[in-house]
Structures are given as structure tokens and as C-alpha cells.
A and B are shown apart, each in its own frame.
Chain A
């Protein structure tokens, strides 16, 4: 058909208004019934795909497994690992990189040494690198739903209260770890300034398993990029070939050199601890304890051991006062706990991470601790 030339035709502002407006320039026009068919089909797919995927993608963690470092933000996999661990292990060890074992190999983590002391595979390493208490609360709430009626060793790393920044209290925006897991709207986290759209997207992802599964695909097979960004890096590769259905192996190696802070020459620090009563991170940690207890879990809290040798000035006294306040709260709330004394200075990599021998010593201390023995080692 010969199209009209805009330079030739008459003034269209005089065209009568009752002319039917064309629908569009494609055939994608569906009836209510067709949309219903699509709605049912897509919903079924959304519901079943993550479950089917679990059957297709093999996940058989070996003893002392820990999530690969590059999958730290793969919460769908964490959820899957949680379910797996709950069905096979008596006790889950949950916490940040101290539990995960950032500076040690897989066979030198806290859970490894606990298992060694127990003489059997009782403890599963559910640590996630970089997970601060605010994110941990979200992780347990949305992706740790299956942690029910089991024993949990919950680690608290006081490092997260060592400054207003670590405690997420500063007003200036900064990019902290695991932003998708923190409360997106209330309570307000002053330094969290993502757009409303991103926040809402994070909220939706928590409840729609399909979306956390798609994040799993991106993180696991597309180097944590979405498909478009990935194809920019790999312009001539077939994206389907990247989906190998093989999960990366458990992280065997340490993420950094295994030398002590002293050898590394790290200076002593004067941390500006936040008050326990005003600490955001502590309030989130309290929430995690309550959440786990509500689900009939036996919760044992391990505080530290923080590298007190690294503290200087007033910092050491403030830390000790804070520690005693934490202890009081745990006692008042009938939470079993252990607050080990600081390990020898040379057994730390930095302010909070022990080295291999440090973990071995800590595990030994735990096994000697009365409260740990009665709540964790004692059969339920």
C-alpha cells in the first residue's frame, strides 16, 4: 500500500474524532481467555521451575562444605543448602566470615574443628562471607525458613559494632554487603539509599522463589551478571552453554594469605564502638536469636573471640563494657552463650578472624564449656 507522505496530505487536525484508533503494529493481541491460559501456564512454570531445577542441578555437599565464596549472594542456594544441612546435620553453625573461615581453608574452619572434636559430622558450616547481623536477620527470615527444631550455634562478631559505619548508622550512603537482605523500608537504615524500585524488587524477590532462582542462575552461571551484561563480556559465546548445571565446588582455599596481623604489620586500632543500646547491628542480632527461638531451635550464641590485642586506648575498656552488657542481655533472656577470652594475639589474622590454630583452640574451648556441652552436645 502506498503510504501517505506527510508533506502532501492535508491538515489532520481537521480529521473527524470518531475515527477508530488503530490497535498497534503487531499481532500480539490476546483475548481474555488467551491471557488466562498464559497466566495459568506461566504461574505453573514459575512455581515448578525452581523445584525442577533442584532435580536437574546436582548439589551434593561433601563434609565440611561451605558455600563457594563467589556464591555468597546466592540466597536461593543458601536456602537449598539450609534444607540439606537441616536434614543431615545435628547442629548448624551460622555467622559471618568468621564462621565461614575467610582466612583458612575448608578443613580448618570452626565447624571442621568442632566436628573433629565431636568425632563425627555433627556441625554444618552455614557461614556466609560478609554477612553482618542486619543482613543475617534477613537471611534467616527469608532463606532460612527450614531451620526449625534444630541446634544452632549463632556467632556474633563484635566487629560490626566497631564504628558507626560498621553499625550502618551514618547518614552518608555507602555500599555495604548483602543490601538485598536488610530491611528495605522499616526500620530505616540511614546509609542505605538505594532507589525505591530496587528496594521493592528486593522485597518481591524474597517472596517469589522463582526470582531468587533466576538470581541463582545469574550468580552461578553468568558471573553474577545479567544475561545482557554477560554477553557483552562474552559476545560470541552461547549463553545456554554457560549453564553447565554444575555448581562450583566448595571453597577449599582461604581467600587471603594466612599470616597473622602482627606479621602483616597491621597497627593497633582505636575503635569507636557504638553503644549497645543504640546499635542497629546488635538489635538485628537480637532479632535473629528471637526468630530462631520462635522456630523451636536450641540457640547457642558464641560472641567473638575478638582480637583484643589489637585494641588500644579507651577502645579496650569500651569493648569490655559492651561485652559485659551483651552478657547481661543474654543471661536475662535465657540464651546459652560462650564468651571466650581473646585467643593469643598471633592466632588472629585481623581484628576478628582467627587463623587455623585459633579455630582449633576455640573449638576445644567450646567442647570444654559447660553451657555448650549441655545445650549443643547433649542429645535432644
Chain B
């Protein structure tokens, strides 16, 4: 039951009016929790066991910490339990596959049986959210949440359950405490966010996927122009796909009087890689910063350690995305890029002399290159793509011009948004015109397919 499908519309048409009716009563949270669990069970009822287990354990650990003091052992139990869940479901296959390859290369005739477990959707997201709660409590940053129902709602809140944003307890839990005041503006803001997200997903991401999937399925059959364009299109596909989901999630939550954090802030306008990571998947970037990079020492222990910490954080971030070497390399490429540009970004020459557009295009080019590893089916495929980009011919790529036109329109809009021309985009006629065009485009031309979100696999 994804946001851009009819079953979700039906689900929301039942959940939302009831929510409005009970929002001022003690039934608000039980209703929200029931709706969230039902939403999750629609993917697979067995998932409920996992989320309930993770929720109960972290709730109990924090309760014990409150009673017996903030001792590290309890924090470790929570972290190890959560990581064990992730490892089992997400990395079990990857680890056994690599161990078996190692055993085979050593000539040992034994193969460890693969766990054969499927990855429950949203696991990485709610595990991280739950972990942040225990860590924040341990650090003394937040109070314990006494109500199990409220805590369970915090972990499982359906708009953000599948793909985030990975909310912090200090932002979301207080909102679940008080009965929300939902104004007309909240509802229309939610609607605006939802429509933009829906357009990004259905009209743009799913459209670009058609070309990207075709080329990336057999990169050896395509030449340089097609491979470059497919990578360029993927760069935007993944942005539209994920930020589209987030917009929809934030829109739905906003209609319910809940404000979820901003997760994407026009990342392809970044002027540096650090800037990029403060605009891309912000909730995850800040999670890694707060719970991995800073605990490792951050930038406090000299240059070498700073780079080491950055490298580890980026590689772990890559691994979080998926259990494959391509994701690890993707993280490592970003870390290396960060090493190379960090110093440069601090020089007055780069800051003051290099035109902003040049910085933006440089960062965009680098990020696009790194996406090759993220999207390729395997390291060998990634290598084929890179080598063929530089060595193959210039055959006609047959890339739809309409797709490119749509991308450049959005890019231009974003440039205008962060420029002095922003007033133009704020004009009523422009805002209304854009929404009308999006709605009509969706109604007339939108594909009827139900492509899942890319990040759903993480």
C-alpha cells in the first residue's frame, strides 16, 4: 500500500476523518497506532512481530535505564539488539555469500547455508529511529516516554514508517503528546506537499526509470552517450523518487497536524560535498553525524582522525543503503571526494573566486558519477559503464527529449528558487499555474504503473 496507489487513498479516506473526529480524545493515539500497524501489516502481517519486538525492547531498556541509572550496558543491549535485527534480515545473505566465496577461494569445501530471510520494508528506517531514542535518552538529551502506545506510535507512524524521515524523539514525541491543532492551512499545506511529491514520483521518477532500467539492465550494449544520459537520468530519478516519497509523507503528516523534518533541500544545487550531504537525505545524514561520526571523535582529534572518521561514516552509510559491495564503494567514493574537496572548499580562492554555478556543476558531476556504483547491478557492471563512457562510440542514445526537458525545467526552477528570482516563483499566478499543470499532467499523461520506491529496498 504505497502512497501513490488507490488502496492508500481508500485507507486514508477511512483513517483521516476518524482521526479528525478523535484527535481531541484519548482515542487519538490508539487510532493512529492501529492505523499504522494495519498499514504495515498490508505489506506482510509478519512484519508486525518485528516492529513490535523492536519497540518493546527499546521501550523496556529505557524504562530500566530510568529506574537503574543510565548505564552503558542497557544502551549496548538496545544497540546490539537493533543491529542484530538489521544484520540478520539485511546483511545475512551478503555476509554468507562473501564468507562462502572466501571459503571457496581457500579451497575449503563447505558452504554456509544462506539465511533465506526477506528484508522487511522500512526496517532500516524504524530501527534507526528507535535507536536514536535510546541513545538520546542515555545521553540525557530527552525524557523517557512513559506511554508505550505513544512510543509505539512514534516508531511506527505510518506516513514515515517505510522510508523516513528518520525522526528524532525530541521532534516527534512532543507532537504526539498534545492534541494537534489542525488549521485549514495545515490541510492545504499537506495537500500542496502531497501533490508535489506525487508528481515527482509518478510523472518524473517512474518516467525516468524506463530509460535508466533499460540501459542499466545491459550496459554492455550501450555506448557512451546512452550511458552518460542514463546515469544523468538516474541521478534525477533517485532524487524525484525519494524526495517525492518524503514530500508525500510530510504532506500526509501535516494534514494530521504533525510536522516531519525536511529531508531534501534541493541537493543538486550544493556547492560542495559537505553541502550536498546537508541537503540530501538530511535525516539520515544528521543521524550518522550524531550517532556515528561524532561518537567516533568527529573533527576533534586531528586531521588524520577526522578523515578516518569521515571515511568510516560514509562507508557505513553506504552499507546502510544495501548489502552489496557497490553501496560500500559508493560510500567510499563520497568519502574520497570529501577528502579531496574539503581543503579546497576552505580556500578563499574556491569560496570567493570560483563562480557558484561552476561549484554546483562540479558537485553535481561528482555526485552523478558516484551514483553509477549505487545503481549498477554489480561492481563489474559499474566498471563496464565507466570504461564504456570513456571508450565506446557515440551511437545515438535514443533518450526521450521530453524527459530531459522535464529535468531541466525542474533544475531551472530550483536555481530560480535559490536566487534573486524567488519572488517570481512566489507569485500567486505562478504557484497556481504550476499546480494546475502538475494535476493535469498527472491526470492526462501519468503512467498507470505502480512502481515501488527505490529506497523501499533499504
A contacts, CB < 8 Å to B: 3-17, 21-32, 34-35, 37-38, 41-42, 45-46, 195-198, 200-201, 204, 210-211, 214, 217, 226-229, 231-232, 235-236, 239
Contacts and interface: CB of A to CB of B under 8 A. Distances in A.
Contact of A3 (B247, B278, B430, B431): B278
Given A24-B247, A25-B417, A30-B432, A204 B168 contact: no
B79 to A, nearest CB: 15
Contacts of A42: 436, 439-440
A76 to B, nearest CB: 13
B34 interface: no
25 contacts: A3-B272, A4-B278, A5-B274, A5-B278, A6-B277, A6-B293, A7-B310, A11-B294, A15-B170, A16-B170, A24-B250, A26-B196, A27-B425, A29-B192, A31-B185, A35-B192, A46-B443, A197-B450, A201-B6, A226-B447, A227-B445, A228-B403, A229-B210, A232-B210, A236-B401
A11 B141 CA distance: 11
A186 to B, nearest CB: 16
A13 B132 contact: yes
User: Which 10 pairs from chain A and chain B are nearest by CB?
Assistant: A200-B6, A5-B274, A231-B400, A197-B5, A227-B445, A228-B207, A27-B425, A3-B275, A21-B259, A226-B447
Nearest to A195: B450
Given A12-B289, A227-B445, A5 B266 contact: no
A226 B445 contact: yes
A232 B274 contact: no
Given A5-B278, A24-B247, A228 B139 contact: no
Nearest to B262: A22
B210 A228 contact: yes
B141 A201 contact: no
B271 interface: yes
Interface string B173-192: 01000000000110111011
Contacts of A8: 274, 299
A200 B431 contact: no
B337 interface: no
Interface in B416-458: 417, 422, 425-426, 428, 430-432, 434-436, 439-440, 443-448, 450
A211 B442 CA distance: 11
Contact of B262 (A25, A198, A217): A25
Given A32-B188, A41-B436, A228-B447, A197 B306 contact: no
Contact of B431 (A29, A46, A232): A29
Contact of A27 (B264, B278, B417): B417
A45 B440 contact: yes
A30 B399 contact: no
Contacts of A37: 432
Contacts of B211: 232
> Contact residue range for chain B?
35 or more
Nearest to A227: B445
Nearest to B8: A197
B285 A6 contact: yes
A239 B210 contact: no
Contacts of A201: 6, 448
Interface string B320-343: 000000000000000000100010
B171 interface: yes
A16 B171 CA distance: 9
Contact of A6 (B135, B139, B170, B286): B286
A38 B141 contact: no
Contacts of B428: 34
B412 interface: no
Nearest to B413: A26
Given A25-B265, A32-B187, A204-B6, A7 B401 contact: no
A51 to B, nearest CB: 16
A38 B436 contact: yes
A228 B290 contact: no
A180 to B, nearest CB: 10
A197 B450 CA distance: 8
A28 B450 contact: no
Contacts of B192: 28-30, 35
Contacts of B141: 13-14
Contacts of B293: 6-7
Given A26-B196, A26-B417, A38-B432, A197 B260 contact: no
B170 A17 contact: yes
A231 B402 contact: yes
A26 B250 CA distance: 14
Residue from A10, A21, A32, A198 having most chain B Cβ neighbours under 10 A: A21
Interface string B111-132: 0000000000000000000001
Contacts of B10: 200
A142 to B, nearest CB: 17
B189 A23 contact: yes
Nearest to A211: B443
A16 B440 CA distance: 42
Contacts of B135: 13
Contacts of B139: 13
Contact of A7 (B210, B270, B298, B398): B298
Contacts of A226: 445-448
Contact of A11 (B260, B290, B447): B290
B234 to A, nearest CB: 15
B145 interface: no
Nearest to A8: B299
Contacts of A3: 270-272, 274-275, 278-279
Contacts of B342: 7
B186 to A, nearest CB: 10
Contacts of B372: none
B261 interface: yes
Given A8-B299, A12-B290, A232-B400, A27 B431 contact: yes
A22 B440 CA distance: 28
A24 B191 CA distance: 13
Nearest to B193: A24
A15 B189 CA distance: 25
B242 to A, nearest CB: 13
B432 A229 contact: no
B425 to A, nearest CB: 4
B447 A229 contact: yes
Contacts of A197: 5-7, 450
Contact of B450 (A21, A198, A236): A198
Contacts of A24: 193, 196, 247, 250, 262
B136 interface: yes
A37 B436 CA distance: 10
Interface in B232-288: 247, 250, 259-262, 264-266, 270-272, 274-275, 277-279, 285-286
B223 to A, nearest CB: 15
A13 B436 CA distance: 39
B58 interface: no
B417 A235 contact: no
A211 to B, nearest CB: 7
Contacts of A236: 401
B103 to A, nearest CB: 39
A235 B400 contact: yes
A210 B214 CA distance: 32
Nearest to A225: B447
A5 B310 contact: no
A208 B443 CA distance: 11
